[in-house]
Structure 1
Amino acid sequence: MRIPYAPTEPADPTPENEAIYDRIRERRKPRPLIPLDLALLHNPDIADGYNKLMGAIRNKSSLSQALAELAICYIAVLNGATYEWTAHAPLALKAGASREALEAVLKGDVTSEAMLSEDERMVLAFTGQSTKSIKVEDALFESVKARFSDQEVMELTITVAGYNMVSRFLVALDVTESNGKIMEMPR
């Protein structure tokens, strides 16, 4: 990492900071704090806000978890965020994404009708446009709106935006010293 990780216990152990560490530990259970947490915990208030937002995106969304994880994995590929890929590729498979779909994402072949469903291609096109161009073309946005509820469209949008933030943070600070490492399919 390009700066040292924050300590696993608050440097300033006020009741507020202790509560923040506890909330983050609770979300990570049964795992300990991860390197991303320790990078963020240089500012406990920012880490707390991050934890709440990303926890809601991951755990309170009605969008298909498999589609969300494929989008997150594609963001990792587009932004060169190896740590993000390594963390989320197994989650995509666990959520029900096929190995073929995940392999297509890893190869950047997100238009393959043979490997991807129509919904997957649509979500990945949205993810690609939002990540690379920021603006999603009207025709694609209308297709997404016709297929998904307004809530799901918002959840897809915040998932893509949120995980672009994550990938940019991971890469800029080289969290886990993963920059430049090869992204591989999970076993």
Structure 2
Amino acid sequence: MTQSTNPPTNPRLPAFDAASAKPEQKAVLDEILSGPRGNLNGPFLGWIHSPELAQHAQRLGAFCRYNTGLSLRLSELAILVTAVRWQAQAEWYIHYPIALKAGVPEALAEQIRTGAQPRFDEPDDALIHAFVTELYDTKRVSDATYARAVERFGHETTINLVGLLGYYALVAMTLNVFGMRAEGQTSLPFPE
């Protein structure tokens, strides 16, 4: 699945020291660590340098990850497609095992990662992939794809899907701009 190299990392932000954190930073960290994530893996140690952004973003992220109305499988599939579109090393590394555990077939994940034409066993997987790729490819979603999504998931969940995609694009941009890697990451899913 991944290139097994020791990934270079070029952090553009100063190291964060929790012991000397400002009260606003400590509040954000405490909320993240006591929430459903329970860890700081991902963009959080980048965002923490802007505590107000960090607080809003992490709360939006908790909603997008756990409360969209989509199953975890479909949310994770959408996140994997986003990681590929942004070539976000850490985003893929973090979400790939979660996606597999949620039921995304390994072969499907690999097809998405490599840009091969995906083969879907589940109609919902095909619909999510169509919606996400159409939005990324054309910056719009056709009436036909939108109608299928609303018919299957309803308006609220379709709106939440768009929010999930926007949030994980923000995550990918953060990880890419600041050269961040996931905790324990020793391989890269995409060439650099």
- Verify same fold: TM over 0.5: yes
Q: Look up the match of 1:101.
A: 108
Structure 2: gaps spanning 5 or more residues: 1-9
Which of 157, 171, 189 aligns to 1:183? It is 189
Structure 2 equivalent of residue 125 of structure 1: 130
Q: Confirm or deny that 1:151 pairs with 2:156.
A: yes
User: Mind listing any 5+ residue stretches in structure 1 that lack a counterpart?
Assistant: none
Match of 2:4 in 1: none
Q: Residue 43 of structure 2 aligns to a residue in which SS? A: helix
Task: Call closer, same or farther: CA 1:101–1:2 in 2, change over 3 Å.
Answer: same
- 1:24 to partner: Cα distance: 1.9
Say if 2:84 is the partner of 1:74. Answer: no
SS across alignment from 1:154 = helix
The answer to whether the aligner puts 1:22 opposite 2:27 as a matched pair is: no
Change in CA separation of 1:4 and 1:172 when aligned onto 2, cut-off 3 Å: closer
Q: Which has the higher contact order (CA 8 A, sep 6+)?
A: 2
Counterpart check, 1:83 vs 2:106: no
Match of 1:65 in 2: 72
Q: Does 1:41 align with 2:81?
A: no
- Are 2:13 and 1:13 equivalent residues in the alignment? no
Q: CA deviation at 1:77?
A: 1.0
Residue 175 of structure 1, CA deviation: 1.1
Shift of 1:4: 2.4
4+ runs deviating over 3 angstroms: none
Structure 1 residue 12 displacement after superposition:
5.0
**Partner residue, 1:164:** 169
Alpha-carbon distance, 1:111 to partner: 4.7
1:110 CA drift (Å): 4.9
Q: TM-score, normalization: structure 1?
A: 0.83
**What is the TM-score when the length of structure 2 is the normalising length?**
0.81
8 Å contact kept, 1:131–1:160: no
8 Å Cα contact 1:100/1:116 also seen in 2? no
Q: Which moved more, 1:126-135 or 1:157-166?
A: 126-135
Kept after mapping to 2: 8 A contact 1:101/1:116: no
Larger mean CA deviation between 147-156 and 88-97 belongs to: 147-156
Q: Retained in 1: the 8 A contact 2:112–2:118?
A: no
Percent identity of the aligned residues? 26
